[in-house]
Homo-oligomer: A and B are copies of this chain.
Amino acid sequence: MASKETLIVDCDTGIDDALALLYLLRDPDVDIRAVTTVFGNIDAVTAADNTLRVLELAGRPDIPVAIGARDNWLGNAHFAPYVHGADGLGNTDLPAPTARPVAEPAAELIVRLARENPSTLHLLAVGPLTNLATAVLLEPELPGLVKHVTIMGGAIRHPGNATPAAEANISNDPEAARTVLTAGWPITLVPLDATMGERITEGHQRRLRETGTPVTAFAAQMLDQYFDFYEGNVFGDRSAACHDPLAAAIAVGDVSPVLAPVVAVDVETSQGPGRGATVADVRGQYRNFPAQDDAHVRVVLETGGDFAELLADRLCDDPTPTRRVA
């Protein structure tokens, strides 16, 4: 049977990256061809290690993992252990992986797979966009070779989270984000406007814990760290935003946005207070967003608000791996 989506997942694994991977891995109709890693929540090498741990927990050590950019284009990367824990996975002590990352660098892998599978691959990017931008520099025809790009990132009518203006993935490499968002491929951007409205709560965590499979127990344990951060710094209660899992669910068609106009998007790359802001032209908001010439970014401004329920359902429903090792 044809898979419903053939993905390369580019991530900085990360608590919510791990949840996104686990969510996708439980759907037998989703074909993850490779995972590429980038600095962001954690360094790119640890992100690859974390990814392998998560893939093995889900019974999929066969999926290749490639390490990508270790720093952004200006060379000032920093990580977020205060959000994701010192290990990036909420200090959960998941067993060390038996598999190892492939030797091929992330951007080269993306270009190679796109050439081998023209108009087939869906790139799901849930970290800084350095790998995708590098891939576009390696192969300027890349935007015509991939089917779609879904990106978790940005903040439009919502404040940033890394700075008052900028969301963390974009803030971590605004130059790369500008390259990717202004390249001519069809993009779905899932910004904070949508993800902050999709909250996973202690109720979901309890359900994951009580289900008690290795996957759900791990997810529940990670959420402790995530809730600690969100309680003190964001929501003031023990809940968290479903950033990366929501982008994953939108990429594979599980979630249909409530409001998602196709609009022009650019990124501010100054060194001023707006650095890293995603400037989307949503001025048509009072007139049902009239069409804009040459716009090619679908910006998800609103989703239904009940995605965490679906996420918990998916993780809890079937404790067996969704796909055999090849």
Q: How many A residues touch B, CB cutoff 8 Å? A: 31
Contact A164-B274, Cβ < 8 Å, known A235-B286, A283-B159: no
Q: Which of B161, B236, B264, B270 contacts A268 (CB 8 A)?
A: B270
Complex interface residues of chain A between 230 and 259 (CB less than 8 A to chain B): 234-236
Give the distance to chain B from A294, nearest Cβ to Cβ, in Å. 14
Please state if A286 and B234 are interface contacts (CB–CB under 8 Å): yes
Complex interface residues of chain A between 269 and 299 (CB less than 8 A to chain B): 269-274, 277, 279-283, 285-288
Q: Which of B274, B281, B283 contacts A274 (CB 8 A)?
A: B274
Measured in the bound complex, the distance between the Cα atoms of B266 and A282 in whole Å is: 22
Please state if B273 and A159 are interface contacts (CB–CB under 8 Å): no
Question: Mostly helix, strand, loop or mixed at chain A's interface?
Answer: loop
Please state if A165 and B282 are interface contacts (CB–CB under 8 Å): no
A157 close to chain B: CB less than 8 A: yes
Give the distance to chain B from A191, nearest Cβ to Cβ, in Å. 12
Q: Which of B160, B272, B279 contacts A283 (CB 8 A)?
A: B160
A267 close to chain B: CB less than 8 A: yes
Give the distance to chain B from A123, nearest Cβ to Cβ, in Å. 23
20 A-B interface contacts by CB (under 8 A): A157-B159, A164-B281, A164-B282, A164-B283, A165-B279, A196-B286, A234-B287, A235-B286, A235-B287, A267-B273, A268-B270, A268-B272, A268-B273, A268-B274, A269-B272, A270-B271, A270-B272, A274-B279, A277-B277, A277-B279
